[in-house]
Structures are given as C-alpha cells and as structure tokens.
C-alpha cells in the first residue's frame, strides 16, 4: 500500500535541504526572530515574575507554535500547487504511487521540519523565555502534533482545489490567518459576536488553542477529551473531502 513512502519521504527531505533559502526561512528565520525578540524584551521582564500577563506566560508559546504550524501548512499548500503546475504530480500519478502516499510523505517532511524548528527555538530562547518546570513538555508536543495535523488537513483541502501555484499562497493565507484571529487566542470566544462565534466553533484551530492552552497549564488530557475528539473528527472529515476533490493537474 505504502510502497515507496519511506524512499519518497527521505528524498523530499534531501531535496528540501538542497534549497538553502527555503531551509533558512523554515528553521533559521523563526529561531532568529524568536531570539531577537527575547533579547529585546526578555531583560526588561527580568526573571519572569509570577504575575506576568497571561499572553506572555501562556499564550506566547502557543501563539508561536501555531504560527510555525501555520507556515508549515502554507508551504505545503505551495509545494502541492507547484508540483501540480509543473506536472510532477501528473508524472507520479502514472506510477504505482498512490495519492495518499505522496501526501503522507509531504506531511511527514513538514512535521519533521516543524519539530526541528520548535526544538531549535526552545533551545535558543531558553535564557529569555524559560519553560516553566510545571509544563508537561511531552504532552504539549503530542497536543501540538494533533493541532498541526488538523490544520494540515485544512491546508490539504485548499491545496486540492487551488488551480495554480501563484494562487495557492494568497488563498492559503486568506483561510489560515483569519482562522488565527478567531481561534480565541486574542479575543475570548465569549466576547465574539454570535455569528463569528459560530464560525470559530466550526474551525479546527479554536479547539487546537483550547487543547494547547489546557495542556500547557497542566490541566491534563482528560479535561480536554472533547477537543481531541473534535480535532480527530475534523481531521478525518477534511482529509476525506480533500481526497475527493484532489486534482492531479
């Protein structure tokens, strides 16, 4: 079923690394920005007193995580569009490779690079944004994986229908960034107008933020079983829809 998956995944990693600018943009730039910001505001904050605003102590890490996941999804949308436009997908289609193998390979590559970026950021920013000992890092990583997958599936749906590469980036941005605004990260869900609240409830990011926040605070998985269930459900629904409308050329 998944013949060629490992080989294709490894190849895509190598191909990605061969493009220095892309590699720098994915890993180097976020780490640098994070580090730079840390130097700017870190010393002023001192040793992170217990009464720092919620946005800095809890939501900043969540915000950065989701931002990186989102940019991974955007680049995935772009890659699929470029592969489609260049006829690469067409050529792959005429082999025993199945579409889900190609997609799985690209998701794996993106997840790997997202993980590398996150780890690099945590290490580079250690001095300025120390992760509190109370945060269950492993659980948080798993929660982040869940969240990334559900955002990825939305990205796929976009990638499956966007006709050209030049159109992919703006459409992806148009879908993903407003979603960020409605996710509850900046404005609490309760204070949104009813219509927007309804839209927010239909988007995966809202549940991802709720899950990530809870896990970061140490609330445990059981308290967020609803978020996990909805994220899983959305993932499968979106992937099924994407597979249905997927276009090779």
Partner 1 sequence: MALQPVIHVDAIRKAYGRTVAVDGVSFGVQAGEIFGLIGPNGAGKTTTMECVEGLRTADRGTISVLGLNPIREVYALQERIGVQLQAAQLQKRIKVREAVGLWASLYRKPVDGDRLIDQLGLSDKRNAWFMTLSGGQKQRLFIALALINDPEVVFLDELTTGLDPQARRAIWDLVRGIRQRGKTVFLTTHLMEEAERLCDRVAIIDHGRIIDIGSPAELVRRHCPERSVIVVTEDSAAADRFRAIPQVESVSSQGLAFTIRGRGDDLVTHVIHCLAEHRIRVTDFRTELPTLEDVFLRLTGHQIRD
Return residues touching partner 1 (CB under 8 A): 3-4, 7-8, 11-12, 14-15, 18-19, 83, 86-88, 90-91, 93-97
Separation of alpha carbons 160 and 54, rounded Å = 38
3-state secondary structure of 85: helix
Contact 117/171 with Cβ under 8 angstroms? no
- Measured CA distances, 56 to 48, 131, 172, 203 (Å): 9, 12, 28, 24
Q: Which is nearer to partner 1, 7 or 201 (CB)?
A: 7
* Smallest gap from residue 79 Cβ to partner 1 (A): 10
Report the length, in residues, of the chain: 249
Tokens of 216: 């970061």
Per DSSP (E only), the strands in the chain are none
* Smallest gap from residue 147 Cβ to partner 1 (A): 29
Q: Which is nearer to partner 1, 1 or 133 (CB)?
A: 1
* Smallest gap from residue 234 Cβ to partner 1 (A): 31
* Smallest gap from residue 239 Cβ to partner 1 (A): 22
Contact 209/62 with Cβ under 8 angstroms? yes
Contact 211/228 with Cβ under 8 angstroms? yes
Q: Which is nearer to partner 1, 86 or 130 (CB)?
A: 86
DSSP per residue, 146-204? HHHHHHHHHHHHHHHH--SHHHHHHHHHHHHHHHHHTTTSSS-GGGS-HHHHHHHHTSH
* Smallest gap from residue 163 Cβ to partner 1 (A): 15
* Smallest gap from residue 7 Cβ to partner 1 (A): 5
Separation of alpha carbons 184 and 200, rounded Å = 8
């Amino acid at each position: 079923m998944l013949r060629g998956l490992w080989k294709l995944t490894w190849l895509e990693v190598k191909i990605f690394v061969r493009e220095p600018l892309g590699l720098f943009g994915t890993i180097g730039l976020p780490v640098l920005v994070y580090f730079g910001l840390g130097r700017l505001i870190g010393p002023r904050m001192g040793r992170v007193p217990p009464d720092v605003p919620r946005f800095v102590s809890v939501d900043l890490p969540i915000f950065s995580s989701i931002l990186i996941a989102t940019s991974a999804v955007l680049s995935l949308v772009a890659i699929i569009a470029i592969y489609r436009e260049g006829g690469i997908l067409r050529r792959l289609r005429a082999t025993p490779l199945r579409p889900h193998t190609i997609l799985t390979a690209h998701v794996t590559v993106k997840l790997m690079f997202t993980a590398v970026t996150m780890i690099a950021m945590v290490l580079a920013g250690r001095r300025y944004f120390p992760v509190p000992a109370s945060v269950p890092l492993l659980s948080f990583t798993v929660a982040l994986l869940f969240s990334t997958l559900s955002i990825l599936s939305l990205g796929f749906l976009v990638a499956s229908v966007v006709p050209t590469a030049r159109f992919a980036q703006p459409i992806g941005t148009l879908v993903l960034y407003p979603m960020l605004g409605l996710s509850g990260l900046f404005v609490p869900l309760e204070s949104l107008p009813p219509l927007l609240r309804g839209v927010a409830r239909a988007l995966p990011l809202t549940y991802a933020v709720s899950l990530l926040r809870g896990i970061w605070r140490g609330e445990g998985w059981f308290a967020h079983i609803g978020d996990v269930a909805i994220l899983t459900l959305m993932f499968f629904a979106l992937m099924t829809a994407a597979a249905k409308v997927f276009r090779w050329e």
